[in-house]
Every structure is written in structure tokens, then in C-alpha cells.
Amino acid sequence: METKNFKYPDTKAYEFVISELKKRGVDLHELSKIACHLQEQFIPQLTEEECYQELNNVLHKRELLNNVMVGLELDRLAEENQLKEPLLSIVRNDAGVFGVDESLALQIADIYGTIGVTNFGYLDRVKYGIIKKFDEDKGHVNTFIDDLLGAIVAATCAKVAHKYA
């Protein structure tokens, strides 16, 4: 099915992502705080408010919204047992060899160049704060969200770094 000239307003995608993140218990300030923590060693005058503004900027980017929407929905569908096997079990169990969650998130970080990608890799290893919370919460399907949050923070880091470059 394809409708030529179909367009969706980015504001709908933005509203969807913000509302889903809120439902999942994500406080956007927690994300901008991580970005601030990672960047203040390079930019001493950096403020949390500034990082929060840059977080909001990256959250308006269409390519980021597209990938975040897909990932969040796959978590939700798996949580509600709406996916078919074997994908259902793969996503529900966060199978280590799957890798689509990391790829989808890495693509977001990649939009922001080397600083985005290296910070994404770093966050994937250290899993700060709220990212760690999702990584360790085994009661829900969090296969995509932890990587997506890491990518959003990494994108924010890059945006802040580029601003001061």
C-alpha cells in the first residue's frame, strides 16, 4: 500500500515520541543531565538548561523521530505479545545476537557524526542513570528503548559540541 505524495506532519511524530517516552517513565531532564555531564569536561561553562534546549532540538529532527517511533512501537508490540514468532521471543528476551536495536539507535547517532557515534558507543558500555534503569528492568520489554535513549543523549552531546566548535 502506498499513497503517492503522502506526507505526515513532523509535529505528530514529535508528539507521539514525547508522549510515549513519558508513558515509559522517561524524564527528559534526566537525559539532558547525562549529556551535560559528558560534555562539561570539554565545555566548562555549559549549563543544564542549555543541554535541555539542545535535547529539544534533536528531538525535533525527523530522522531521529522516525527511528525512535519504530523502536518504541516494537517494544510495545512485544510487551503486548502482538509480534509474530520468532521475532516476538527475540525482542521479548532482548537476544544478544539480534542487534537491530543497536543498529536502529546507531543510525540516529550517525546523523550527528563522529561525536554522536563515539558517545553512543560509550553510553552503550557505561549505561548511565536512566539508561541503566531500563537496561536492568527485566519486568518489561526494554529492548529498543535503552539504545534509543543512549542515541538521543549522544545526539545531544554532539549538538552541544558542534555549537561550541
User: At closest approach, how far in Å is the CB of 155 from Mg ion?
Assistant: 17
The burial class, CB within 10 Å (0-12 / 13-18 / 19+), for 39 is: buried
Q: What sign has the CA pseudo-torsion 96, 94, 148, 66?
A: positive
Phi, psi (5° rounding) for residue 39? -95, -20
* CA 55 to mean position of chain CA atoms: 11
Query: Can residue 147 be called a binding residue for Mg ion (CB under 5 A)?
Result: yes
Count the site residues for Mg ion by CB under 5 A: 3
Binding mask 67-106 for Mg ion (x = CB under 5 A): ----------------------------------x-----
- Tell whether residue 124 is a contact of Mg ion (CB under 5 A): no
Our CB check for Mg ion shows the closer of 36 and 104 to be 104
Candidates 14-22, 29-37, 52-60, 139-147; binding stretch for Mg ion (CB under 5 A): 139-147
Tell me the helix, strand and coil percentages in the chain, rounded to 5: 70, 0, 30
| Binding residues vs Mg ion (CB under 5 A) | 101, 143, 147
